[in-house]
Amino acid sequence: MSGRRDAARAAPPQRAASRGELLLKGGRIVDPRAGIDARLDLRLEDGCVAEVGERLAAREHARVIDCSGKVVVPGLIDAHVHLREPGREDEETIESGSLAALAGGFTSVLAMPNTDPVTDSQAAVGFIRAQAARAGHAHVYPIAAATRGSLGSEMSEIGDLVAAGAVAITDDGRPIADAGVMRRILEYSRIFDVPVVQHCEDLALTDGGVMHEGRISTRLGLKGIPAASEEVVVARDLILAELTGAHYHVAHLSTARSAELVAEAKRRGVRVTAEVTPHHLVLTEEAADGYDTQAKMNPPLRSGRDVEALREALAAGTLDIVATDHAPHHYDEKEREFDFAPFGILGLETAFGLLHTELVLAGRIGLADLIERMSPAPARIFHLAGGGLEVGQVADVTVLDLEREWTVEPEAFLSKSRNTPFGGRQLVGRAWMTIVDGQVAWRLDRDPAVADEPRHAASAAGRRSATARQGKVRSPASAHAREGAAR
């Protein structure tokens, strides 16, 4: 298949749009793309933004939501999630993961292809889209495998995958190690105008490492992963991106030197974008002290110097977006010895609270800049609908309660898994309501100010009681005994 992809933004998977009117009254609208930060009303109609203005009058049969004291922003977009379906439905499904996304304020997520089987065919892309439409929660955009089976040798049929609905290509979970293969992928990606997302890791340098190579790994007697294992791949690929003129995207960037390399490349005009995860902005390698497998991830948690550099790079715009790298794992697997436990943690339900608490309230980044990196920027990078509240735009909206104090309770997660190092952490700020296609898809409280009954009302008490009925943690006997696939 040939021909450049249509320049229009990718449309979300088909679903029934709201035919009524939803009026959000009295909230502070923060829309970085439109340059708005003001107390205004927002009218949503027929699945689109219909009007933004002061003191808008409610029409007959309109549903009115009092957003006084809340912040109304474009629906958040997570550009890096692992939904595990098909293959590991015991850890997560498209239904459960997209519901967890709503609870975190995300109206859209991008699903990575390291499933079983790998998302490397039109049928596999179509399956993900169909499952997401059937679930009817957050929009799910597939990212397809760059090589067949994500084995790094034979390039996938990129044109066919894009035609089926893939918005980018990657072998995430493992790197595209061969420079010749990477060059060809970058060249072909230009034809279809999709980003090439790279998991930057030199496996020869990683060589079985399980955490950041440094003082803590030495003291614990664990094999370390040097920062250079990421940086050498970033450096090589930036040269190839400059050679080909393709759009190259660095996934889960984790080191100070990687950020410097990206900044230098941007100054040269290379088409590069980069993401950083909340956990690499909040935690250091010390979180793994005591052999805590909840803090085992790839790339690993780095040094305090790296964390500080990443925060500065995010504020400066060198790092374009925040993405969670949501990676569910079964309880049994994370309870193994550190060397054998899988890499990865959950992120969808804690991301905004962590970033607001640790960065915005600490004065490291402004709220509008954080929203920019969680909505308009990912929409722009991956050519998605959403990312703004302009009239005519898709009515994907997140309403935030910036003053809500809450404690991370993994047993209350809507994800099927519980693997997080943030259990018990006190946070300030979280999603209060998530609106998809003009419909209230999720809300935190059963608030009398909300006239309609959303698809999912999720009070913490309700989630806890539901969890108690099902059992807090699945029995080890229910685990699928399978090795490998660490991410």
Closest CA to 26 of 74, 71, 76, 75: 71
Closest CA to 431 of 476, 374, 484, 473: 374
Pair 114, 173: CB distance under 8 Å: yes
The rounded distance, in Å, linking the Cα atoms of 59 and 155 is 54
Cα dihedral 106/392/390/388 (nearest 10): 20
Q: DSSP readout, 261-298?
A: HHHHHHHTT--EEEEE-HHHHH--GGGGTTT-GGG--S
Reduced to 3 states, what is the DSSP secondary structure of residue 203?
helix
Q: Which long-range contacts (CB under 8 A, 24 or more apart) does 363-371 make?
A: 364/311, 364/315, 365/311, 365/314, 365/315, 367/30, 367/71, 367/402, 368/30, 368/32, 368/37, 369/32, 369/315, 370/322, 371/30, 371/32, 371/73, 371/74, 371/76
Burial of 370 (0-12, 13-18, 19+ CB in 10 A): buried
Residue in the structure block whose two tokens are 């497998």: 293
Number of H helices, E strands in the chain: 15, 19
Please say if 325 is a catalytic residue.
yes
Pair 250, 224: CB distance under 8 Å: no
List the alpha helices (DSSP H) in 283-417. Answer: 304-316, 331-334, 351-355, 367-374, 376-381
Residue 476 DSSP class: G
Catalytic residue among 171, 202, 325, 401: 325
The residues annotated with a catalytic role in the active site are 325
